[in-house]
Amino acid sequence: MKPTKRTKLRRLPRRGSHDAETINTILDAGFLAHVGFCAYGQPYVIPTLYGRDGEKLYLHGSAASRLLGTLETGIASCINVTLMDGLVLARSAFHHSMNYRSVVAFGIAHRIDDPAEKTRALRVISEHLIAGRWDDVRNPSEKELKATAVLEFLIEEASAKIRTGAPVDDEEDYGLPVWAGILPLTLEAKQPIPDSRLEHGIKVPDYLLRSRHHQPRSL
């Protein structure tokens, strides 16, 4: 993607990228987005889950959701996804930082009304979160589809920003008797907890034990 006035990286541009593969890799590694928009003269930032299919992000929620109801009017919006990889502890307070991967995407969302397309989009979201789950559960009923709003957000412009590596101190501070380095942070999937009304003999699915939300990353 070519940088534009909206996506040009002005501070520490060496950390930035407009490469589509880099952007998609970050979007695929995350699952929680923060959606920013303005309505009635007031800015809002709302967290929501998403799924990616090509250059489209799918959002869903209650048909009564203010977020989705506002976005479907065609207003400009911005989606941010950030993955925290570690706290970078320097020898001075000024040079503390964090290692992260982030994407900022701009575009306009459109409501999906066709039941088949709506169901396909919900499958994309489900598979983005936990691959294999959709085929294991009951699919949405007609009533449930009507109660659910699904939006298609076409990424018009986007940029990524990434920081990796050790702290960067002032040269004269490297001799200070202060510990410096990285405190790694990961999102880790714990042992699944069965529902109290689970039918006897149903085992934890293999796809859940292989859940991707615990994969470590090089810092």
Residue 21 pLDDT: 94
Q: What is the largest CA-CA distance in the chain?
A: 67
Read off the tokens for 54: 């090509």
Asked if the model's pLDDT at residue 54 lies above 90, the reply is: yes
Asked if the model's pLDDT at residue 122 lies above 50, the reply is: yes
3-state secondary structure 116-160: HHHHHHHHHHHHHHCCCCHHHCCCCCHHHHHCEEEEEEEEEEEEE
Residue 153: CB partners within 8 Å, gap ≥ 6? Answer: 50, 56, 57, 58, 59, 71, 77, 79, 105, 107, 108, 109
Please tell me the distance from the alpha carbon of residue 208 to that of residue 96, in angstroms, as a whole number. 36
Please tell me the distance from the alpha carbon of residue 144 to that of residue 162, in angstroms, as a whole number. 39
Q: Which residue has the higher pLDDT, 123 or 7?
A: 123
Contact 65, 149 (CB under 8 A): yes
Asked if the model's pLDDT at residue 216 lies above 50, the reply is: no
Read off the tokens for 165: 């590596």
Which residues are 46's β-sheet partners?
A: 35
Residue 13 pLDDT: 56
- The architecture in CATH of the region 13-184 reads Roll (2.30)
Please tell me the distance from the alpha carbon of residue 189 to that of residue 113, in angstroms, as a whole number. 34
Please tell me the distance from the alpha carbon of residue 141 to that of residue 186, in angstroms, as a whole number. 36
Share the mean pLDDT of the chain. 90
What mean pLDDT comes out for the span 58-87?
Answer: 92
82-101, pLDDT tens digit by residue?
999 999 999 999 999 999 99
Which amino acid appears at position 30 of this protein?
G
Residue listed under structure tokens 């960067």: 168
Residue 213 pLDDT: 58
- Measured on CA atoms in the order 138, 143, 147, 152, is the torsion positive or negative? positive
- Domain assignments of the chain as residue spans, ordered by start: 13-184
Residue 63 pLDDT: 86
Asked if the model's pLDDT at residue 215 lies above 50, the reply is: no
Length of the chain: 219
Asked if the model's pLDDT at residue 6 lies above 60, the reply is: no
Residue 16 pLDDT: 67
Q: Which residue has the higher pLDDT, 69 or 17?
A: 69
What mean pLDDT comes out for the span 137-152?
Answer: 95
Q: In terms of Cα–Cα distance, which of 217, 214, 215 is closest to 86?
A: 217
